[in-house]
Amino acid sequence: MDNEVTLPVSKWRRFTYVEPPIFLSFVAYGMTGVVFSDLILFQTCKTIIETNENCDIIHTNSSSQAAFDLDKLIQPKASYILMCQSLLEGTLAAFLSLFLGPWSDKYGRRPLLLIGYIASTCKLILLSILTLWNINPWLFLFASIPSGLLGGSSGIIIGTFCYISDITNNNNRAWRLGCMQANYLLGLIIGTFIGPLIFEKFGYTSIFCTAALFNSSSLFYTFMYVPETIHNETHQKWKYLFDIKLVKDLFATSVKKRLGLNRILLWSCISILSLHVVLMEGHGRIGFLFANVKLGWDAIQYSIYIGISMILTIIGTILGLSVFRHYFGFSDATGAMIGTLSGFASAITLSFTTKPWHMYFGMSIGIFNAIISPTVRSILSKSAPAKDTGKVFSLTTFLETLLPVAGSSLYSVIYSAYMPPIYPSPAYLLSGGIFFIILVLVIVVDTEMIRHQPITESHNNRD
């Protein structure tokens, strides 16, 4: 056989392969996420007002009435720039992801990880250079071109989830995916806390340079240390990357009735994951803008909120995947249902926010929201034969990448059209509606799991 999964290593070493580079990469992402939104907001202000003195109030006294009036003027324009960034990075990457998963099933996971880290590093280097000048905020979108052309985070996501599926079995996969989620959330927490501090002391250029160093470390670590799980003797693997037959096989795998494939389970899980990512992207797109204009928070105050939110998310993930499962015997579907109800309650609470403690209360009751992803991905991996793992995750990543582009654009449009002081927030009410749809799909998944018998895996190297 040309390609097979082989990775005979001890249990603890398996946690040292994809976890460290993902951690470093998300430290970089956490450092720059809020700061990039602040950069677009500040540069948009300077193109409209044309004097730094007036725009400095965004950083020096963001809770004042003058800052509020300024936000109402510049935020609609800034939100459209951020929306275009999502379109630029997401659309091309989504279609590229259709080829990456099926290709990696035959030729390996490492190339996907390496390409993804190269794209992310290039983006941060370009931002470091562009922030040296006082330029129009639209020009910062040039930094997103490498991510769009090379697949960006899509390659990292597909490669990582396929890699974990290669070295786990049905019993421990949800736990490993949960550990991975806690790992990158820890990176986000650290990045979210230290990013604004670096920005406040050294400015935009320094923070993007620092983030680029973290991402390049992920690239170096993956290149030097992460072994391949798929071994194929073909030396001309790159010529088959854009083989249209791979995409045909991908869709045939997902829609053709055959032994070992539960199509209802497969597409319900994909729909849940796609809608959940739409929620996360939408909240990430408008979160800082909402807190800035509604509560007068600056980048540091919002970063503290996000950091605490991620700490609670890690706690909720550990409780949801270990305590609920091992001590109460909850299934993956039950865990996903708890996560959905938690997220629904959080979204409704945020829509009625008028005071800072409302934000923190909404965050607290949404503590189990994060267990949706690992539990549903675990179910998804059982819905098709193990040899088609890459195809399944590739199709999932395609929709998870493409739909959030439209979703974040929808959130941006709704937020811009119905900015505070409109109450309750229509954007977060939309989130409540999406969580309700997810709940219906989880019930469908639970019903299918009762009658669907997962296929037996043949990877004798797994735990």
pLDDT tens, position by position, 143-162? 988 888 887 777 788 788 78
- pLDDT tier for residue 438 given thresholds of 50, 70 and 90: very high
Looking at per-residue pLDDT, the higher value among 449 and 366 belongs to: 366
Asked whether 112 and 155 are in contact (CB, 8 A), the reply is: yes
Q: What is the mean pLDDT of residues 335-342?
A: 92
pLDDT at 241: 64
455 has pLDDT over 50: no
Q: What is the mean pLDDT of residues 72-91?
A: 82
Query: Would you state the structure tokens that stand for residue 253, as one six-digit string?
Result: 């795998």
- pLDDT tier for residue 460 given thresholds of 50, 70 and 90: very low
- pLDDT tier for residue 387 given thresholds of 50, 70 and 90: low
217 has pLDDT over 90: yes
- pLDDT tier for residue 218 given thresholds of 50, 70 and 90: very high
Burial 153-181 (b: 16+ CB within 10 A, else e): bbbbbbbbbbbbbbbbbbebbbbbbbbbb
Contacts of 290-294 with CB under 8 Å at 24 or more apart are 290/415, 290/420, 290/425, 290/427, 291/359, 292/41, 292/62, 292/71, 292/75, 293/68, 293/71, 293/72, 293/75, 293/419, 293/420, 294/353, 294/354, 294/420, 294/421
Whole-structure pTM over 0.75, yes or no?
no
- pLDDT tier for residue 349 given thresholds of 50, 70 and 90: very high
pLDDT at 246: 67
Residue 299 amino acid letter: A
Across the strands, what pairs with 232?
3
Looking at per-residue pLDDT, the higher value among 87 and 340 belongs to: 340
454 has pLDDT over 60: no
DSSP state of 227: P
pLDDT at 186: 86
1 has pLDDT over 50: no
DSSP state of 368: T
- pLDDT tier for residue 219 given thresholds of 50, 70 and 90: very high
285 has pLDDT over 70: yes
- pLDDT tier for residue 417 given thresholds of 50, 70 and 90: confident
Considering only 91-95, 244-248, 364-368, which range has the smallest mean pLDDT? Answer: 244-248
Structure confidence by residue, pLDDT tens digits, 3-25 = 544 454 556 666 678 889 999 99
322 has pLDDT over 70: yes
Q: What is the mean pLDDT of residues 373-397?
A: 76
Asked whether 156 and 114 are in contact (CB, 8 A), the reply is: no
pLDDT at 52: 59
pLDDT at 459: 42
Query: From CA 252, how far away is CA 197, in angstroms rounded?
Result: 50
pLDDT at 418: 77
Look at the block and give the residue holding tokens 């798929």: 230
Asked whether 376 and 325 are in contact (CB, 8 A), the reply is: no
Q: What is the mean pLDDT of residues 53-57?
A: 77
Average pLDDT of the chain, as a whole number? 81
Query: From CA 351, how far away is CA 432, in angstroms rounded?
Result: 9
Query: Would you state the structure tokens that stand for residue 57, as one six-digit string?
Result: 């109030």
pLDDT at 453: 55
Q: What is the mean pLDDT of residues 160-180?
A: 77
Looking at per-residue pLDDT, the higher value among 383 and 29 belongs to: 29
343 has pLDDT over 90: yes
CATH code for residues 14-225+243-249+257-451 = 1.20.1250.20
Please report, for residues 2, 9, 107, 230, the alpha-carbon distance to residue 233 in angstroms, rounded to integers and kept in the order given: 6, 21, 9, 10
- pLDDT tier for residue 383 given thresholds of 50, 70 and 90: confident
DSSP reduced 3-state for 405: helix
**Domain residue spans of the chain:** 14-225+243-249+257-451
